[in-house]
Structure 1
């Protein structure tokens, strides 16, 4: 079984000034994660601006990350959407080569019922040659996977091994933890409530901010898993202002601005997203300049 406890990061796709994929920057970002305590990488998720990448570009990103990672960290591939048949068609050994698991978001826009969500993931589970992480993010999909639905999927399919729970609701997160099997991974999808979720029995996080502050954030998660509460919360409160900043004007505009200041990549995003404002840039720059590692 692949170990996806601890800190995973939802990688950005860096762009050059003319909006093409910045190959060298992506390599630097992957190396930055490997060298600073991150436990696994998530490729082609929402933070990667997956919706604005062509199929050829997606293949390019997969190849670059896989080659730069060189087998050192587990790799999770985002394979999700609102067309069940099309997702199932992607679940081939060739398409998933080099990856250890998939992350699949609840269907968006269609607004399915809970039974529809169950049947959607049933079809994916029956087709996938890799373990599956569900992804619940109602703020983006307009539909909330209820804890009962997640528990039903967890008990029905052995290859559904966890959920990235990003409803932003601690009560719901605790209900998911309580209703799913002990070895089922309940992973935070919200940076701000990662630590309380871990302390409540969660397995860790798939994070945005961790790729900018990998050592600090992964240390916080590890301390939480070890139940070293005071030390963990000390880091949490140090990082909390930056967590607010990077989501203030949307993701990944904020984290890409962080990467600009860290000289890892440009802050370029693709429309309909736009770069961080001057005001936000100044706040992020001030924070980074005073951050105590």
Structure 2
């Protein structure tokens, strides 16, 4: 899965002021990624607000990204949930021909045991026609997929090819990197620790900040993969402040404020999410103006 090495971005779903999907803004954002060095695009990840999209709106987002991308970059589709049967049915019935892999989040809200998490992904692996990227994000799911469970899944199912690791625990990430099968990819799901993970043997990132600053962030990851440590850390520290800012009042409210400052899309998010406050919006705009100028 060489196509998953480097910088992927979790695309936002831009909304108009009436909160309908802004197709033209989504096209601009996709082209912005492609023109500035991003390696692959993730559709309907958490950042895309799929929890508040209708099934019809999800189809609009998927088709818009496929058409705009026009085969230029590999695409990954978010297909996950806490109803195992429903996820399996989607994988069996959805047309996935445009996608290189699926990203599937560890089940949330139910709080399964490690065995429950294993059995969930076993069912998905047996149903999926595409390679699977596991997604561990305990801050959202209320349960942590332990390294032992990840390694067990990686060894037992050849189509489980990677994990997006977003536990915010560098020691946990290192444990997976140390014990994983040779070709299994450990992908950062935390922008702030992306470079340390890459330098430790990680394969790159599925990023939020990367879609706001695709040239700088993808260059940082590329330099890290090339072991050009000093140059990579220069870019890391250049972006560190804005990484903190975009998550300060929740994702994707922060990154949507970046897109507003860049003139690519409005900053609208759907309830129960709300836009960032005026203070943070001003700080984000000031940072964007400094970087862009």
TM range (shorter): over 0.9
**Structure 1 unaligned spans of 5+:** none
Q: Distance in 2 between matches of 1:287 and 1:198?
A: 26
Does the 8 Å contact 1:36/1:214 carry over to 2? yes
Structure 1 residue 292, shift from structure 2 partner: 6.2
In structure 1, distance between residues paired with 2:257 and 2:221: 24
TM-score normalised by structure 2 residue count: 0.98
SS in 2 for 1:291: helix
Aligned to 1:161, the other structure's residue is in SS state strand
The Cα shift of 1:100 comes to: 1.1
CA distance in 1: counterparts of 2:96 and 2:47, whole angstroms: 20
Structure 1 distance, partners of 2:219, 2:192, is: 15
What is the alpha-carbon distance in structure 2 between the residues aligned to residue 2 and residue 120 of structure 1? 26
Shift of 1:2: 5.4
Deviations 1:173-218 (A, max 9, x none): 0001011112111000000000000000000000000000000000
Measured after TM superposition, the shift of residue 103 of structure 1 is 0.2
- Cα deviation, residue 74, structure 1: 0.5
Report runs of 4+ in structure 1 exceeding 2 Å deviation: 92-95
What residue number does 1:82 align with?
82
What is the correspondence of 1:44-193 to structure 2 with a 5 Å cutoff? 44-92=44-92, 94-193=94-193
Aligned residue pairs total 293
Please state whether the residue corresponding to 2:152 is helix, strand or coil. Answer: helix
Q: Is the 8 A contact 1:154 1:184 kept in 2?
A: yes
What SS class does the counterpart of residue 103 from structure 1 fall into? strand
- TM-score of the two chains, using structure 1 as the length reference: 0.98
**1:161 Cα deviation from its structure 2 partner:** 0.3
Residues 9 and 211 in structure 1, CA contact (< 8 A), matched pair in contact too: yes
Equivalent in the alignment of 1:258: 258
Indicate conservation of the 8 Å contact 1:2/1:100, yes or no.
no
Which residue matches 1:200? 200
State whether structure 2 residue 202 is matched by structure 1 residue 228: no
